Structure 1
Amino acid sequence: MVDDSGAPGRRTLFQQGVDGVLSRPRTLWALAALAMALDVAITGLGLSIGLAERNPLADATIDAVGLFGAGVVLKGGALAVGYAGWRLLPRFVPGTASLRNLVPLGVALPSWIAVGINTGLVLSVI
């Protein structure tokens, strides 16, 4: 009997692609930082055209230290915590060294979602 579904080959190709992306931590951290920078920039654009910040912590921080300062404090803090976790994960949880590159993806994902939502809001107002 022959399995002609091709599923194992596709899964292997997909897995190779995932492994390739996850083997580039600098790229993953750069994508996380880019997402956060875009989030701050688009938030600033939205605020300048009359939209409001809905996150109470971000709103209070922007009021206290300005948009740039809030970006440095909040996004920089998130990057620092994520990076510390990325560095320490293999030490505290043995056997997870191969999974640690999921950390920058977890840090970046919320910001990429925010970039998408904020871009949609800004485009709907312009």
Structure 2
Amino acid sequence: MPLFTTDPTAFDSSTIDEYLGAVSGSVSDLELLLWVLVCWALVLDIVLTAYGLSVGLVERNPLMRQALDAFGLSALALAKAAAVAVALVFRALWPEYALVAPIGLAIPWVLAVVFNAALLASL
């Protein structure tokens, strides 16, 4: 099935359903849950980092510290977006390893959230 065509009648509802099925593949409930966890961890990490920086804490990652100094919190958001983009490309290229991408993001980001929350709670 061509992705692009000049024939406006080439697509009907069955073609669209077929295309969407091919694009989405089969997303398991576990994979969906992991991607939701990734999204929550991403947001919480940015929020907790922003709050920590506002109360005088310092970013421990030297590369991110330089990026934050130069570009502010948009650097953190951009880095997170880039990581998600890489994970989604990985997921698209190797669907048989669908759980690897969200697990690879969820584990370090959830750990960062837990660490940041504990650090902020101890202040």
TM-score by length of 2: 0.71
Q: Give a deviation string over 1:7-54, Cα, whole Å, max 9, x none.
A: xxxxxxxxxxxxxxx822333222102101100110111111111101
Identical pairs, percent: 40
Structure 1: where are the runs of 5+ without partners?
1-21, 91-96
Quote the Cα distance in structure 2 between the aligned partners of 1:62 and 1:55.
Answer: 10
Q: How far 1:71 sits from its partner (Å)?
A: 2.4
Larger helix proportion of the pair: 1
The alignment of Structure 1 onto Structure 2 pairs a total of residues equal to 96
Structure 2: where are the runs of 5+ without partners?
1-26
Residue 81 (structure 2) pairs with residue 83 (structure 1): no
Decide which of 36, 53, 56 is 1:50's aligned counterpart: 56
Residue 32 (structure 2) pairs with residue 26 (structure 1): yes
Decide which of 108, 111, 122 is 2:109's aligned counterpart: 111
Name the counterpart of 2:17.
none
TM-score by length of 1: 0.70
Tell me, yes or no, if the aligned pair for 2:42 and 2:109 is still in contact at 8 Å.
Answer: yes
Aligned Cα RMSD in Å?
Answer: 1.5
